[in-house]
Structure 1
Amino acid sequence: MDEYDNNTPSHGKDNFPRKILSQLRGSNGPVHAVTYSASPGTYILTGSADRSIRLYNPIPSSTTTNASSTQASSFITKPSQSPLTASPPAGRLIQTYTSHGYEVLSLTVSSSNATFASSGGDRAVFLWDVSTAQTIRRFSNAGHTTGRINNVIFAGVDDSLLISGGHDTTVRIWDVRSQSSAKPVQVLGEAKDGVTSLVFDSQGTGAEVLAGSVDGRVRTYDVRMGRLVTDVFPGAVTSLCLTRDGKTVLVGSLDSKIRLMDRSNGQCLRTYGGVEKGSGDVGAAAGGWTNKEIRVQSVLGGGERWVVAGDENGAENSNGEGRVWAWDLLTGRLVAKLGVPWGPGGGKVVVGRDGKEKERKNVVSCVAWKDSGFGNQFCVGGTSGVVTVYGEA
């Protein structure tokens, strides 16, 4: 399959979004977190290594669209053209949020869109007011004791809880409504290594927390019944994504595999990624999907029709572009492998410890899918510091 599959003229009727709609610029470092606002999913929040959070409208203004339409069109339709000479139009920056003292690693938006929460290297969870750009609360006292907080999610009725997981191997549950943030409601400390990913299941018992960890475990806590179920994986767990009915969960791990797991019996229903060229698999692609060293996110998209993931390797060309992969959820067939451009200016050359120049890869580590509103759309971010938004042609 062509490296720039977004440029292939015919894709049948899968409707997978391959067209680059815009790029969200302004970050002064790698982007570690991206998420859409709640329904109708009009806006995108990004969290960066520059300690800032930015709110964007991904649809370019009319003047930007008109000025960039020729460049954007040529970028999409000519796979031989270098992205260094054709930049997609820029999305609109709405607001910048600055209270973090360290890199931002995770973002979660409330269902009302009035608040969002963030976490990172601060060892604290920040609760924000969207309109005023001010922090409402900081959950830090008696909180995570060492290292960074890798993930934070809203949970409970009316988003009454925040759940955080971090490098200190604990999962902590915080009551948003409480006037005191001195202590978490509950601390779950069974992990033997850092907690990388969290999801909350409100379908079954209505109170199950799933936590993925570097120790290669996914732990399911039924906090009402006081029950713990542990599933073991061959590599550190880097990503979790729960289906809407809560019956299956998508698990990414550092063995370059993404697995769809049946939560009732722990059975692996389908495996995605890790395919080498010439293997005979219908999803075979040069180099295969790679996740061996860093946290790379994978999500469900298109009404749970596709599995979409970033890639810690750059694209297979000379300019160090990034790439994003998509598979059919039911068959495991590779649907798309898209090149992710650097953005204006192209990739930066860095100097290694040996004093020699080395080309930096555009590692795509975070992905978010627009789950509401009109049309299929998703966005990706990573080391380039630019978030690229894809939609239907």
Structure 2
Amino acid sequence: MSFPDKPIAQLLGSNGPVHAVTYSAGSGTYILTGSSDRSIRLYNPQPTTGTAGTPAKSKDHGFVTKPGTSSPSIPEGRLIQTYAEHGYEVLSLACAADNARFASSGGDRTVFLWDVTTAQTLRRFGGGHTAGVGGRVNCVCFAGEGDSLVVSGGFDTTVRVWDTRSGQGAGAKPIQSFTEARDAISALAVRGPEILAASVDGRVRTYDVRTGRMTTDVISGTAGVTSLSLTRDGRSVLVGALDSRLRLLDRENGTCLRTYTSEEKGPMWRNEELRVQSLLGGRERFVVAGDEMDINSTTEEGLQKSSKGATPDGRVWAWDLLTGRVVATVTVPWGPPGAATSSRSIGRDGREKERRNVTSCLAWQDGGWGDQFCVGGTSGVVTVFGPR
């Protein structure tokens, strides 16, 4: 299959940068987004047709050009529901296998368990004084039989396991805690009884909750680990770190099977400062990652466009899993005028400044086995890509 690089929908409505995106479980009909405006939104990415203000699909490209503009207009996905209980920015989302519940976490030191239909919280973990959660919760995921457990990790360097069947609410204590990390927990992955935790201390720790065994893989002595993505068979894991490198590791012996980075003669991919997500997609044919750098800042042509007021479009990179070769660099448009946070802002000196479209969060339909993926970032707009 070729890489699905055609923008097929945009998800609008966020009033700030989007930090988390995830598809519903299974075939992935719906998309959840979490943003700095403290809200979670549920979308159907399939654009509406035949309604006012919604561009129709063209026969050739799936989008049309609005009158008086020179750039194509991407169809708008449908907002289904908004979930608003967080007091701070939303940083992570996870959907249960039954699609009846999802979990979220963020800057308010709390993990929320939601009922999808009623838009009400079923449980809140970490908000009570007895739980002892300190700082923002960067990542959350489901675990256990029937997704009865929720695992969280964050700024206070601790991984916690919560029982969703507990009736103690915000004052509930975690049933397990792991404190070996020496810096913030940035990403989590779960497979059966194993919990993988990435940390800014440059390590990936694997906890087997049945045997009590912990193994540590040292990824980088100086660069923090920011992203984890397991292969479906669980034998390998894709690891992203703040040294502008992605690594595919053999989980049995810790060997680095392949490294993914910029090619010598081509555009530069960079991840040195921010938590930029990477994942496996296209039935594990592709390695996909966001980018800290917008297109305008990496080429002479882009710099000229930027000086003339062009929108700072972001990028998504794709590598061939087996060869490590770059197979695609996909432009992620900032968004339609007036539909998202402006690409321009006023600095402290009172002058207008152009913002970068950092593409930081990704999700691939059906856990990497579907035919589309979505990407969000600082523009506040989530763009959905599919096959041509």
Q: Does the CA contact (< 8 Å) of 2:54 and 2:76 recur in 1? A: no
Identity fraction in percent:
62
Describe the superposition over 1:242-292 as per-residue Cα deviations: whole angstroms up to 9, x where unpaired: 111111000000000000000111110001124342xxxxxxx22x21100
Which is further off, 66-75 or 309-318?
Answer: 66-75
The correspondence for 1:271, drawn from 259, 266, 282, is: 259
1:369 aligned residue = 364
2:217 corresponds in structure 1 to 231
User: Residues 343 and 64 of structure 1: is their aligned pair in 2 closer, same or farther, counting only changes over 3 Å?
Assistant: farther
Correspondence for 1:249 among 231, 237, 242: 237
The aligned counterpart of 1:31 is 18
> Against the structure 1 CA distance between its residues 273 and 391, is the aligned structure 2 distance closer, same or farther, given a 3 Å change threshold?
same
* Residue 161 in structure 1 maps to residue 153 in structure 2: no
- Figure out how many residues of one structure are paired with residues of the other and give that number: 365
CA contact (8 A) 2:247 2:259 kept: yes
Is residue 199 of structure 2 the alignment partner of residue 221 of structure 1?
A: no
TM-superposed deviation, 1:344: 1.2
Give the counterpart of 2:325 among 333, 339, 358: 333
Matching of residues 343-358 of structure 1 within 5 Å: 343-345=335-337, 347-358=342-353
Q: Deviations over 1:145-168 (max 9, x none)?
A: 321000000011110110000000
The Cα of 1:54 is off from its aligned counterpart by: 0.2
> 2 CA distance for matches of 1:45 and 1:83?
30
Say yes or no: does 1:89 pair with 2:75.
Answer: yes
For 1:19, the aligned partner's letter is K
> In the alignment, is the contact (CA less than 8 A) between 2:282 and 2:369 conserved in 1?
no
Partner of 1:4: none
Paired position in structure 1 for 2:299: none
Structure 2 counterpart SS, 1:95? strand
Give the match for residue 295 of structure 1. Answer: 275
Partners of 2:317 and 2:59 in 1: CA distance = 21
Q: Alpha-carbon deviations, 1:47-86, whole Å to 9, x = none? A: 01000000000010122599523689679799xxx99843
User: Quick one: distance in 2 between partners of 1:94 and 1:266?
Assistant: 43
Tell me the distance in 2 between the aligned counterparts of 1:329 and 1:305.
5
Which residue does the alignment assign to 1:117?
103
Residue of 308, 314, 325 corresponding to 2:294:
314
Sort the Cα spacing of 1:144 and 1:63 in 2 relative to 1 into closer, same or farther, 3 A. farther
Letter matched to residue 379 of structure 2: S
Residues 76, 131 of structure 1: CA spacing in aligned structure 2 closer, same or farther, 3 A cutoff?
closer
Counterpart of 1:210 (choices 196, 200, 210) is: 196
SS of the residue aligned with 1:371?
A: helix
Sort the Cα spacing of 1:83 and 1:118 in 2 relative to 1 into closer, same or farther, 3 A: farther
CA-CA distance at 1:372 after TM superposition: 6.6
Match of 2:377 among 370, 373, 382: 382
Aligned residue for 1:61, secondary structure, equals coil
Partner Cα distance (1:362, 1:214) in 2: 23
Q: Distance in 1 between matches of 2:77 and 2:147?
A: 29
Q: 2:178 aligned with 1:188, yes or no? A: yes
The superposition leaves residues 185-212 of structure 1 with CA deviations (integer Å, 9 ceiling, x where unpaired) of 001001111000000122xxxx111000
Q: Quote the residue 1:258 is aligned against.
A: 246
* 2:55/2:64 contact within 8 Å kept: no
Q: Which runs of 5+ in 2 are unaligned?
A: 297-301
**2: CA distance, partners of 1:296 / 1:374:** 21
Does 370-379 or 216-225 show the bigger shift? 370-379
Residue identity opposite 1:179 in structure 2: G
Question: Is the 1:52–1:96 Cα contact (8 Å) retained in structure 2?
Answer: yes
Offset of 1:362 from its aligned partner?
Answer: 0.6
Q: Which moved more, 1:354-363 or 1:318-327?
A: 354-363
Compute the displacement of 1:15 (Å): 2.3
TM-score when scaled to structure 2? 0.89
Is residue 2:48 matched to residue 1:56? no
Structure 2 counterpart of 1:104, from 90, 97, 104 = 90
Distance 2:370 2:182 in 1: 42
Rate the CA distance shift 1:163–1:72 in 2: closer, same or farther, 3 A: farther
Gap change, CA 1:172 and 1:72, over 3 Å in 2: farther
What is the distance in 2 between the residues matched to 1:72 and 1:292? Answer: 41
Structure 1 position 43, deviation (Å): 0.2
Is residue 64–residue 73 contact of structure 2 (8 Å, CA) maintained in 1? no
- State the one-letter code of the partner of 1:137: R
Q: Once the 2 structures are TM-superposed, how far is the Cα of residue 232 of structure 1 from its aligned partner?
A: 1.0
Gaps of 5+ in 1: 1-13, 278-284
The 2-side partners of 1:85 and 1:72 are apart by 17
